[in-house]
Amino acid sequence: MKVLLPDSSELELPDGATGLDAARAIGPKLAEQAVLLRSNGTVQDLRLPLEDGQQIQILTTRNADDSDALWVLRHSTAHLLAEAVRRLYPGVKIAIGPPIENGFYYDFEFPEPIREEDLPRIEEEIQRELTEGRSWVRREVQAEEAKRYFSEQGEGYKVELVETAEGPISFYTQGDFTDLCRGPHLQDSKPIKAVKLTGLAGAYWRGDERNTQLTRIYGTAFYSQSDLDSYLERVEEAKRRDHRRLGPQLDLFHFSERSPASPLWHPKGMVLWYELEAIRRRENARRGYLEVKTPIIYDAETFWTSGHFPKYEDLMFKLDVRGRPWAMKSMNCPGHMLLFGSRPRSYKELPLRYAEPTPLHRDEIPGTLHGLLRVRIVTQDDSHIFCTEDQIQDEIAAVVDYARYLYGLFGMSASAELATRPDNKIGTDEQWDRNEAALEAALKLNSIPYTVAPGEGAFYGPKIDLFMDDALGRKWQMGTIQLDSQMPSRFGLTYVGQDNTEHSLYVVHRALYGSFERFIGILIEHFGGDFPFWLAPVQVRILPVGEEHRAPAAEVRDRLGAEGFRVEVDERDETVGKRIRDAEVEKIPRVIVYGDRESTGSLAVRERGGKQDTKSLQALVEEFRALAASSGRVAGGAGPQPAQ
């Protein structure tokens, strides 16, 4: 048989040859360094047989930055972790241990709880395994043999996995440890040069809070110690930027156990909120959206009609109102369907673009909550675009353009994932071909880099998931653009066409911030609290040196405030140095020190970070106008002024 190499050349191999055989045929050095085989966008264990005509790429230890090469390294390290834990803690039961973004984890049921202080001991055991050396051996087994083996080992979680497994069942063995695993894995442990266990967490078996809570050990691994060191530096920087720390420090928001996972927004936090809202309203108006407002609570029948019951019922807050079942909305879609259906619609009204930033409520599982990034009260910048089939491509393209513009305001680059038809799709292949092509064309038109996620679309239509890369290179999922013909149909929505007959309707669901809460949390971490001038809750702080300087400092504040800038005067009886340091901690973009030598013609201005200059008040106004225009506005001033 023959396989195709990345340079399009052919490699002839005997029938049944594996990826490792292919590497050996190319050269012994390649075979020694090979870690994984990639074929047509998927990964394959080097031990598995190849097919005639298969396109292959052999990844090696030289591909240390490749995400798939890191994936297999971390997968094998997770198995070393399981081996180490079993040796150190007799009676422990093992569950699952996959690689994840930036690392891996393994879930255990320990006889007695362990603590963070125990991780170095486990790490030492992994290092001992690496010093001894491990090789992975793959073997396919029948389900009954697998169940018998794990029953004898007392591994009930593995038995349950075998009972629900689909397709071939395989074991991977290293040393005296055998695990149930589909693979792929490294040939041996030599490529694993750096390992770090990073933390503990609780996790319910199979993500179901009705099941046993297990202990999850997180870790990461790299092909070199320098790569691990760089990663740990980024982790420390991420901790410094953590919005859960900076939010209270910068007086933006806090959480209370009186209403768990629902932020209480402070005045300075609301400045951020209203700046985002100002952009949303401005751009919606410019792009032809109509602002609407719909109820928060509906009867249960509404959600059965929309399809949210029973699929999302467990995540919705339900109420009994005088013996009648109601629920708080977790999505805006039903209300917008009712709005559209309030009267007959003509093709002349389409496309019709409704927009609404309404609070939504979701009863998220406690273990999934995370600061502003996962909350129970979610305020989406939601919109539903009702359109004809012929208008789909233009509407999707316009939404993608909107997203590209919006993320660009914050210095974040956008990327996307195009989720295509699943196996349980409804509708014809012709419809799916047309709709997927419309979404893909919109991404190409706007030069948005994207990947395709086959089979990940909703059953009623394809979707685009939008991502942003922050200052640390982390990728955040933000908005979603989803094409749907089913919900309009469920509500009986149609429009009257030019032929004076009723036609089926499409709706584009879209949220570009994703939610205000999540977007602000990401912005805090992206900027590390050092917000650009136009977004900063307090843009300028004036420090009068003495009591006699308070009146002229207030005059400068009033002049800048009249221009729409957010200004404070710090009149505390502290030294100027102390007040400057406090302004740095609070990340104020500009500080003006007003003393005997200052006047409106000559002000001592200090930029965040320490740079100092002397400027006239008029020059400052012009500079601030230019900085404020970065958001497409003349000046800041979208929200309430913080107390002076």
Which residues are known catalytic residues?
333, 362, 380, 382, 384, 463, 509
DSSP codes joined into one string, 554-597 = HHHHHHHHHTT--EEE---SS-HHHHHHHHHHTT-SEEEEE-TT
The burial class, CB within 10 Å (0-12 / 13-18 / 19+), for 634 is exposed
In order of 302, 305, 326, 338, 431, the CA distances from 298 in angstroms are: 6, 11, 6, 11, 33
Locate 401 and state its tokens.
């353009």
> What residues contact residue 54 under an 8 Å CB cut-off, 6+ apart?
3, 4, 39, 40
C-alpha to C-alpha distance for 262 and 267, rounded to whole angstroms: 16
Cβ-based neighbours of 377, under 8 Å, separated by 6 or more: 261, 262, 263, 359, 360, 361, 517
* Cα 411 to Cα 257: distance, rounded to the nearest angstrom: 35
Report d(CA 524, CA 600) in Å as an integer.
34
Q: Please state, in angstroms and rounded to a whole number, the distance separating the CA atoms of residues 82 and 97.
A: 8
The answer for residues whose C-beta is within 8 angstroms of residue 444's C-beta and 6 or more apart is none
Are 589 and 540 within 8 A, CB to CB? yes
Please tell me the distance from the alpha carbon of residue 102 to that of residue 221, in angstroms, as a whole number: 8
CB 591 within 8 A of CB 603: no
Beta bridge partners of 391: none
DSSP, res 152: H
Q: Which residues, in sequence order, are CB contacts of 335 under 8 Å at separation 6+?
A: 294, 295, 298, 329, 356
For the beta sheet containing 137-141, the strands, ordered from the edge strand earlier in sequence to the opposite edge, are 137-141, 169-174, 177-180
- The token pair that represents 414 in the structure block: 């956008």
Contact 597, 614 (CB under 8 A): no
Rounded CA gap, 548 and 595, in Å? 9
Q: Identify the residue whose tokens are 């965040």.
A: 608
Token pair in block for residue 624: 């601030």
Give the amino acid at 261.
A
- Of 314, 382, 380, 379, the C-alpha closest to 354 is 382
Place of tokens 């031990």: 47
CA angle 150, 151, 153 (to 5 degrees): 60
Q: How far apart are CA 301 and CA 582, in angstroms?
A: 55
Token pair, residue 573, equals 């009886």
**Is residue 474 within 8 Å of 411, Cβ to Cβ?**
no
